[in-house]
């Protein structure tokens, strides 16, 4: 079995994001970038499945500018076998990303595709479902447990009401939740080894996918700031304030 | 131009967020039609037909729609979509799972999780966990939009009398099989719509200690929330998680207990009207969004809080 894992480079989740003064976006210069956190879970799950003997090969793929390759290298350092970097500059919307991934799937013919359920930059939560639609594959989104069976996966999904279990036929797409597993850290020797693993470079334009933006970003602004609050000295004061000042209890 | 809204329901009742989505849909265009796909879901269609903002209900009924699978829903939505300029549903796990599958096959770039309708093609949506708001304009002919339910008031549920028509059933999928849903049953208000939410974080120390939260929730008729750290630690189940990848809540009162206030948690609660933080670390970032901060050991503060609440003559419900 072959697993394709899609990873995205985003502003690190610990960074306090700042809006650019001219309203064209957020500040990314000299800001720490990392792999989108649930994409790390996707890589980890693929590696665990390979370690269990149920998968033979893991291919990590990313779509983005030159530096996006770092996320592929990181996936290689924790156990992916080879990488694909589809180069494209500027914003690529989930629809275009899923069309690019569709081309990669046509070529690679994986049995499973894993990725994070959502990217923490645009918070779109679309790519996995869109790719599933384009391929006419089943989708298991927000996965917190995956069991690999002969010709299917049994997946537990985190939904608003609690947990849902579904069975999807292979080939399938799974989008991973943060609780799926605990992503491992790459050891230094493995980071060195990863540098020797092959990463194929492809230009998005060579795949014949139109990546033109369909959504115009008119402006980006800071959300309204909350008024500074106060510290109360005691529980009694807190309850009095809630009762008589805020009038919420 | 008209809007097709995909209803979320359990075949008996409409899920409350569908009503919020109807409000947003009617701000895009007055001609709102609601698609109800279900199994023996006549009561759902009937109740939606009474929503004054709804002009028409399209009901598609078959046993294959007993459990909601996007692989089953998508083909019938696509068939209906021909007649509409906008397809919308709520941005909860229902809509997040479903809408992109529809959008991709309509070759539309979806606009996710909008918090404001600016015009028929322009919307406001949070990005970077709500640390920035983007105004975006969709240039696609057909627009697929998911709506952050807590940013819109629920539509009125009586007074309307929309026509109910039957729609065509599609083929059943062979790709996916529904096995089970484990819903956490509770007499408490739902987290997404509760007037008061009290949440615990890693500072709670154990699942057992959450009873301190439960007691206060009982007293205030509040829903119980949690930070991701508390869910990860196994103190409480995932359906309680508030944050960027959990639920977004906007209650009148949000009480954060033993929660440090990571960016990802703030994304889920910082629009609440009044925020209380109880934390023993005075430097915790949660205090920067709190209207009332109490720097205290929660194991002393919570029992005391309950005691003070018990002294009050009346408590709003």
How do residues B264-298 score in pLDDT, each as one tens digit? 999 999 999 999 999 999 999 999 999 999 999 99
| Rounded distance between C-alpha atoms, residue A176 and residue A188, angstroms | 26
Q: Where are the domains of chain A?
A: 2-223
- pLDDT reported for residue B269: 96
Domain membership flag for residue B289 = yes
Tell me, yes or no, whether B119 and B224 share the same domain.
no
Q: Do residues A205 and A8 touch, judged by C-beta distance below 8 A?
A: no
Tell me, yes or no, whether B112 and B234 share the same domain.
no
Tell me, yes or no, whether B110 and B27 share the same domain.
yes
Which class for A65: exposed (0-12), middle (13-18), buried (19 or more C-beta within 10 A)? middle
Phi-psi region at A230: left, alpha or beta (left = phi > 0; alpha = psi -120 to 50): beta
Tell me, yes or no, whether B157 and B256 share the same domain.
no
Interchain proximity A179–B238, CB inside 8 Å: yes
Would you say residue B317 has pLDDT above 80?
A: no
| Rounded distance between C-alpha atoms, residue B106 and residue A116, angstroms | 23
Which class for B304: exposed (0-12), middle (13-18), buried (19 or more C-beta within 10 A)? middle
Instruction: Give the 3-state DSSP-derived string for B70-85, with helices as H, strands as E and coil as C.
Output: HHHHHHHHHHHHCCCC
Distance between A84 CA and the closest CA of chain B, angstroms: 23
Interchain proximity A216–B136, CB inside 8 Å: yes
For residue B276, give the nearest of A13, A17, A238 by CB distance. A238
pLDDT band for B315, please (50, 70, 90 cuts): confident
Tell me, yes or no, whether B130 and B206 share the same domain.
no
- In chain B, residues with a C-beta closer than 8 Å to the C-beta of A136 are 175
Distance between A135 CA and the closest CA of chain B, angstroms: 10
Radius of gyration of chain B (CA): 21
Domain membership flag for residue B244 = yes
Nearest partner of A180 among A115, A132, A130, A124, judged by Cα: A115
Domain membership flag for residue B63 = yes
Domain end call among B166, B187, B208: B166
pLDDT band for B246, please (50, 70, 90 cuts): confident
- In chain B, residues with a C-beta closer than 8 Å to the C-beta of A17 are 128-129, 131-132, 263
Domain membership flag for residue B180 = no
How large is the angle between the packed helices A127-135 and B93-105, nearest 10 degrees?
50
pLDDT band for B60, please (50, 70, 90 cuts): very high
Domain end call among B147, B166, B185: B166
Return the H-helix or E-strand segment holding A87.
strand A82-87
Interchain proximity B176–A166, CB inside 8 Å: yes
CB neighbours of residue B237 within 10 Å: 15
Any idea what the CATH number is for the domain that residue B69 is in?
3.40.50.620
| Rounded distance between C-alpha atoms, residue A242 and residue B253, angstroms | 9
Distance between B30 CA and the closest CA of chain A, angstroms: 24
- In chain A, residues with a C-beta closer than 8 Å to the C-beta of B194 are none
First to last CA, chain A: 58
Q: Do residues A129 and B141 touch, judged by C-beta distance below 8 A?
A: no
Tell me, yes or no, whether B141 and B280 share the same domain.
no
- pLDDT reported for residue B102: 98
In the sheet where B3-6 sits, what is the strand order? B111-114, B143-147, B86-90, B3-6, B32-38, B54-61, B163-166
Any idea what the CATH number is for the domain that residue B240 is in?
3.40.50.1220
Nearest partner of B98 among B38, B144, B32, judged by Cα: B144
Domain membership flag for residue B85 = yes
- The token pair at B175 is 């790709």
| Rounded distance between C-alpha atoms, residue B25 and residue B2, angstroms | 9
Give the DSSP letter of residue A241.
Answer: I
Block residue for tokens 């046993």: B63
Contacts of B312 (CB under 8 A, 6+ apart): A239, A243, A249
For residue A238, give the nearest of B113, B140, B294 by CB distance. B294
| Rounded distance between C-alpha atoms, residue B180 and residue B171, angstroms | 21
For residue B239, give the nearest of A123, A162, A179 by CB distance. A162
pLDDT tens, residue by residue, B207-224 = 999 999 999 999 999 999
Tell me, yes or no, whether B207 and B156 share the same domain.
no
Tell me, yes or no, whether B146 and B32 share the same domain.
yes
- pLDDT reported for residue B169: 97
- Mean pLDDT score of chain B: 96
**Mutation target vs B (from A96, A101, A180, A214; most B CBs, 10 A cutoff):** A214
Nearest partner of A89 among A71, A69, A115, A63, judged by Cα: A63
* ipTM exceeding the 0.90 mark: yes
Domain membership flag for residue B186 = no
Domain membership flag for residue B124 = yes
Distance between A39 CA and the closest CA of chain B, angstroms: 13
Digit-by-digit pLDDT tens for chain A (249 residues) are 999 999 999 999 989 999 999 999 999 999 999 999 999 999 999 999 999 999 999 999 999 999 999 999 999 999 999 999 999 999 999 999 999 999 999 999 999 999 999 999 999 999 999 999 999 999 999 999 999 999 999 999 999 989 999 999 999 999 999 999 999 999 999 999 999 999 999 999 999 999 999 999 999 999 998 887 999 999 999 999 999 999 999
Domain membership flag for residue B154 = yes
Average of per-residue pLDDT across B57-73? 97
For residue A139, give the nearest of B70, B177, B239 by CB distance. B70
Tell me, yes or no, whether B159 and B231 share the same domain.
no
| Rounded distance between C-alpha atoms, residue B278 and residue B299, angstroms | 10
- pLDDT reported for residue B172: 95
- The token pair at A128 is 């996995």
* Inter-chain CB pairs, A–B, below 8 Å: 263
Tell me, yes or no, whether B102 and B39 share the same domain.
yes
Give the chain A residue nearest B177 (alpha carbons): A167
Domain end call among B126, B149, B166: B166
Task: Check the CA dihedral B109-B113-B119-B124 and report its sign.
Answer: negative
- The CATH T-level fold of domain A2-223 is Rossmann fold (3.40.50)
Nearest partner of A24 among A153, A217, A223, judged by Cα: A217
Tell me, yes or no, whether B119 and B239 share the same domain.
no
| Rounded distance between C-alpha atoms, residue B59 and residue B271, angstroms | 35
Range of the domain at B272: 196-311
- pLDDT reported for residue B1: 85
Angle subtended at Cα B5 by Cα B21 and Cα A168, rounded to the nearest 5 degrees: 100
| Rounded distance between C-alpha atoms, residue B245 and residue A117, angstroms | 9
- The token pair at B294 is 């109490």
For residue A160, give the nearest of B92, B137, B304 by CB distance. B92
pLDDT tens, residue by residue, B122-136 = 999 999 999 999 999
| Rounded distance between C-alpha atoms, residue A241 and residue A42, angstroms | 46
Q: Do residues A234 and B146 touch, judged by C-beta distance below 8 A?
A: no
Total domains in chain B come to 2
Tell me, yes or no, whether B47 and B88 share the same domain.
yes
Would you say residue B316 has pLDDT above 90?
A: no
């Amino acid at each position: 079995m072959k697993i394709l894992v899609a990873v995205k480079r985003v502003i690190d989740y610990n960074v306090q994001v700042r809006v650019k003064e001219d309203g064209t976006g957020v500040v990314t210069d000299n800001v720490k970038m990392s792999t989108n956190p649930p994409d790390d879970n996707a890589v980890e799950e693929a590696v665990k499945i390979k370690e269990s003997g149920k998968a033979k090969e893991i291919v990590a793929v990313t779509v983005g500018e030159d530096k996006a390759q770092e996320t592929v290298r990181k996936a290689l350092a924790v156990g992916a076998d080879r990488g694909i970097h589809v180069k494209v500059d500027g914003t690529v919307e989930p629809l275009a990303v899923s069309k690019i991934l569709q081309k990669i799937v046509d070529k690679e013919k994986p049995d499973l595709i894993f990725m994070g359920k959502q990217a923490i930059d645009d918070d779109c939560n679309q790519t996995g479902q869109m790719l599933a639609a384009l391929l006419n594959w089943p989708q298991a989104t927000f996965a917190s447990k995956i069991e690999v069976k002969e010709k299917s996966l049994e997946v537990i999904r985190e939904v608003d009401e609690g947990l849902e279990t579904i069975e999807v036929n292979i080939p399938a797409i799974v989008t991973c939740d943060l609780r799926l597993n605990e992503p491992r850290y790459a050891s230094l020797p493995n980071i060195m080894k990863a540098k020797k693993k092959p990463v194929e470079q492809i230009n998005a334009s060579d795949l014949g996918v139109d990546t033109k933006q369909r959504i115009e970003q008119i402006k980006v602004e800071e959300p309204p700031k909350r008024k500074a609050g106060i510290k109360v000295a005691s529980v009694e004061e807190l309850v009095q304030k809630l009762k008589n000042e805020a009038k919420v209890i | 131009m008209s809007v097709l809204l995909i209803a979320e329901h359990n075949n008996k009742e409409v899920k409350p967020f569908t009503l919020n989505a109807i409000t947003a849909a009617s701000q895009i265009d007055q001609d709102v039609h609601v698609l109800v796909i279900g199994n023996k879901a006549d009561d759902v269609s009937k109740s939606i037909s009474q929503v004054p903002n709804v002009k028409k209900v399209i009901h598609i009924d078959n046993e294959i729609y007993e459990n909601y699978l996007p692989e089953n829903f998508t083909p019938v939505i696509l068939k209906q979509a021909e007649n509409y300029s906008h397809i919308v549903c709520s941005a909860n796990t229902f809509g997040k799972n479903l809408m992109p599958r529809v959008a991709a096959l309509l070759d539309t770039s979806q606009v996710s999780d909008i918090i404001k309708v600016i015009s028929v093609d322009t919307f406001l949506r949070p990005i970077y966990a709500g640390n920035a708001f983007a105004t975006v304009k969709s240039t696609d002919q057909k627009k697929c939009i998911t709506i952050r339910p807590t940013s819109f008031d629920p539509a009125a549920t009586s007074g309307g009398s929309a026509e109910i028509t039957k729609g065509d059933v599609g083929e059943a999928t062979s790709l996916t099989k529904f096995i089970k849903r484990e819903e956490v049953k509770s007499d408490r208000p739902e987290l997404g719509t509760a007037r008061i939410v009290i949440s615990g974080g890693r500072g709670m120390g154990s699942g057992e200690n959450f009873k301190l939260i439960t007691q206060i929730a009982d007293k205030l008729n509040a829903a119980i929330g949690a930070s991701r750290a508390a869910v990860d630690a196994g103190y409480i189940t995932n359906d309680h998680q508030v944050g960027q990848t959990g639920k977004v809540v906007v209650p009148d009162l949000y009480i954060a207990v033993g929660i440090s206030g990571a960016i990802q948690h703030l994304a889920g609660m910082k629009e609440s009207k009044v925020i209380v933080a109880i934390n023993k670390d005075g430097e915790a970032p949660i205090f920067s969004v709190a209207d009332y901060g109490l720097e205290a050991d929660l194991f002393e503060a919570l029992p005391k809080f309950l005691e003070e609440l018990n002294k009050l003559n009346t408590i709003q419900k």
